[in-house]
Amino acid sequence: MSANSGHYRLTKTHRVSIAGVAALGAASLALTLLPGGGTAEAGMQHVAPVAMVASQDIGTAKTSIAAQHAAADKRAKDAAAAKAKAEAKAKAEADAKKRAATKAAASRAAARKPVYANNLDGWIRESLAVMKAKGIPGSYEGLHRNIMRESTGNPRAKNGWDINAQNGTPSVGLLQVIQPTFNAYHVPGTPHDIYHPVSNITAAANYAADRYGSIDNVNGAY
């Protein structure tokens, strides 16, 4: 300090001291400005819980979203299962109705099917029904006339003396048919038995239709 100038000269020591005081004052002011007038440490205690609450809220939100997705998936699976069950039930009911309808139709058809007598008249009439269904021409009179001439109405009749018999294929049955002819002209829907009355008549009528146009046109050995 110079007495001549009337001013104080700040030494290095003085400047350091002043700077220290200023720093202490700033720190004190900062602490004073914290919420509630607390210390910095106390201020940090106010901040930390906020971060923890935010983290907890995010975790809760994630859990809620996951639960919603799981519930949605379960509802979708339950709906799909219910739909599949309903479709299976509907199909089973439809199949049952179809079987019932088929059975009823078969029953009605069986009820409508004529019952033919087990005699010459019944055999001719049954054969005529088959011939009509298959488009084979012929009449009751034409069949009866040729049957009476060939076998007199005996379904077990057998010719053992004509040329066919001599060749090893005797004529048999109501209309005296040989086996090769029966095999070639057998009509589906009748038993494959040459001695069966309806089978024999129908096969012979089929052969006569092919050879002569109709059994009605046959008036002798054919």
Domain boundaries, the chain: 1-33, 45-113, 120-217
Report, as an integer, the average pLDDT of 11-18.
48
Assess whether pLDDT exceeds 50 at residue 108.
Answer: yes
| Gap between the Cα atoms of 190 and 172, Å rounded | 17
Contact 72, 61 (CB under 8 A): no
Q: What is the pLDDT of residue 2?
A: 42
- Summary mean pLDDT of the chain: 82
Q: What is the pLDDT of residue 9?
A: 52
d(CA 90, CA 85): 9
Cβ proximity of 102 and 95 under 8 Å: no
More confident residue, 38 or 135: 135
**Looking at residues 95-102, what average pLDDT do you find?**
92
pLDDT cut 90: percent of the chain above it:
60
Any idea what the Cα angle at residue 109 is, between residues 135 and 195, rounded to 5°?
55
Contacts by residues 202-208 (CB-CB < 8 Å, ≥ 24 positions apart): 202/127, 202/130, 202/131, 202/136, 203/177, 204/146, 204/173, 204/174, 204/175, 204/176, 204/177, 205/127, 205/131, 205/136, 205/137, 205/138, 205/143, 205/175, 206/131, 206/134, 206/136, 207/177, 207/181, 208/138
186-208: average pLDDT: 98
- Confidence (pTM): 0.53
